Amino acid sequence: MILSLIFGFILGVAIGSLIHIGVYLFLALAIIAGMFFVYRYFVEGVNRLFITLCSIVLLAFLFGVLRVNFSNLYATSNLIQYENKKVTAVGIVADEPDVREQNVKLTVKLSEVLFKGQKNDVSEKILITVPLYPEFSYGDKIEISNLKLEKAKNIESDDGRIFDYGGYLRVRGIWYTANYVQLKFVDSGHGAIIKSILFKIKHAFVSSLDKALPLPESSYMTGLLLGAKQSLGKDLLYEFQRTGTSHVVVLSGYNIAIVAESIMAVLSFLPKTLSFSFGTISIILFTLLSGGGASAWRAAIMVLVALFAKKMNRDYKASRALGFAIVFMLAPNPLLLVFDPSFQLSILATIGLIFVSPYVEPYLKKVPEKFGLKEIIGSTIATQVTVLPFLIYNTGLISTVSLPVNILILGTIPLTMFLGFVTGIVGIISLWFSFIPAFFAYILLWYQLKVVHIGSSIPLGAIKIPAFSFSTLIIIYLIIFWILFFIKKRKLIL
């Protein structure tokens, strides 16, 4: 019953995001759903359970469609009258600045727009690209001159792959972008108190890592702990893509689980209720501190569900937790499902771990469990089955060295993260004492980066695949799931 509701809602969000279902079609589907209910009660000799499930799926589908219809996808921007016109505006930096190698992207929530001598109040976010200096922070109030609002355009790669950048920004409530405008600092302190405190803590922590560790190890450690992969730079990030290890520097379930276990272990001396409460709050605050990306929140929700299940002495079913996490995230922001690649990748990887792992494990009976080798190989193969087609569709790269590189580095990640966490915390208090854990962390970081670099340098370590259509991607996944179903049906698992 619950799975039917979840499936119907997700399907409704997906279809509603791709096709605008108008009022008349929506009413027609609602009538059909009602007829299903009537049919099961007044017609003899029908499979009532099947009809009931169909009715539930259809009703949940309609709720999913309705939620998309009331989202940003089919709404009109309040700034449309200023499109492609130069204006002056006042706004507040609404998120942590996204610092890149050559520029910074600021999400600014506009409050006033001055156009043709008339001042108008607005309340909408835009994304502007500015130079690295002067620096701005979350909560800063700024005045923007020569602002020319442009709709976000699709990004086309050299091999013909198209990224729906407009849809990606719409997930974040952004319709318009602008490049290299003139900014004037007005004042600070306009951000939410909790987020402001968390970002200050984050900056102090990252600064501590930067002082204790050299580049690129410090940037890599920041990526491991906080998922800030932009800090790696294009060259190093490309090496992670070529070796199929990008998931390491994305705040995923793996990273969140390590953080959660560390937090609970540190707080284990407290009474269980206090330990659980502080642990739960700490995981939420850590996710906010990391920037609160879709993959991070998906992972955090599933970890929290596991903690609550353990607290209430209930069985934890990862499949239900995943369904709950998806619905919980799509309810406030349904556009994540179709327009956010990180959310899609996170869901596919989790599906691989939950549903594909049981098919892989029987083939690994002879693999030793020492150093977690069996688990690393099994999880890597399982996630590759569900993630690889999507990665090829988006990047065009298929890594032939992904399995050996992941085997060589994943076993060292938990200790690396622990040492990095200690280095950052101790460094805030004393730089000299932070050099002790930083020394051991550096050895592990150097080793991991060296493995990734060697793996990416191997000829044919990554193969470029020509672009293919979205419908082809769907067919590939249908074939994969049919094969898995066939294996289960025929009981071919050893």
Q: Provide the b/e sequence for 258-294 (b: ≥16 CB within 10 Å).
A: bbbebbbeebeeeeeeebbeebbebbeebbbbbbbbb
444 pLDDT exceeds 90?
A: yes
What distance in Å separates the CA atoms of residue 239 and residue 259, rounded to the nearest whole number?
25
Helices (H) and strands (E) in the chain, counts: 19, 12
392 pLDDT exceeds 90?
A: no
The mean pLDDT value for 10-29 works out to: 84
Q: C-alpha angle with apex 313: 323 to 261, nearest 5 degrees?
A: 75
Confidence at 493, pLDDT banded by 50, 70, 90: very low
Question: Helix 253-266 vs helix 294-311: angle between axes, to the nearest 10 degrees?
Answer: 40
Q: Which residue has the higher pLDDT, 11 or 56?
A: 11
Residues 6+ apart with CB under 8 A from 451: 405, 408, 409
The whole-number pLDDT of residue 5 equals 83
Weakest mean pLDDT among 61-65, 81-85, 149-153, 379-383: 379-383
The mean pLDDT value for 357-380 works out to: 77
Q: Which residue has the higher pLDDT, 194 or 43?
A: 194
Confidence at 412, pLDDT banded by 50, 70, 90: confident
Structural domains present in the chain: 2-69 (no CATH), 80-191 (2.40.50), 197-490 (no CATH)
Q: What is the SS3 assignment for 151?
A: strand
Q: What is the SS3 assignment for 143?
A: strand
The whole-number pLDDT of residue 46 equals 55
**Closest to 333 (Cα-Cα) out of 374, 360, 298, 366:** 298
The whole-number pLDDT of residue 251 equals 61
Confidence at 281, pLDDT banded by 50, 70, 90: confident
Report the chain's mean pLDDT, rounded to a whole number. Answer: 83
pTM for the complete prediction?
0.84
The mean pLDDT value for 213-234 works out to: 80
The mean pLDDT value for 53-57 works out to: 78
Model confidence over 116-142: pLDDT tens digits?
Answer: 878 888 889 999 999 888 889 999 999
The whole-number pLDDT of residue 119 equals 86
The mean pLDDT value for 173-199 works out to: 88
163 pLDDT exceeds 90?
A: no
Model confidence over 248-276: pLDDT tens digits?
Answer: 776 665 666 666 666 666 666 777 777 77
List alpha helices for 402-469, DSSP H: 402-410, 413-429, 431-457
On the question of a cis peptide bond just before residue 437, with omega within 30 degrees of 0, the verdict is no
Model confidence over 307-345: pLDDT tens digits?
Answer: 777 777 777 777 888 888 899 999 999 999 989 888 888
The whole-number pLDDT of residue 403 equals 83
Q: Provide the b/e sequence for 2-28 (b: ≥16 CB within 10 Å).
A: eebbbbbbbbbbbebbeeebeeeeeee
Confidence at 490, pLDDT banded by 50, 70, 90: low
Confidence at 447, pLDDT banded by 50, 70, 90: very high
The mean pLDDT value for 151-159 works out to: 80
Please give the structure tokens belonging to residue 398: 């298929």
The whole-number pLDDT of residue 494 equals 45
What distance in Å separates the CA atoms of residue 85 and residue 223, rounded to the nearest whole number?
38
The mean pLDDT value for 11-35 works out to: 82
The mean pLDDT value for 174-184 works out to: 88
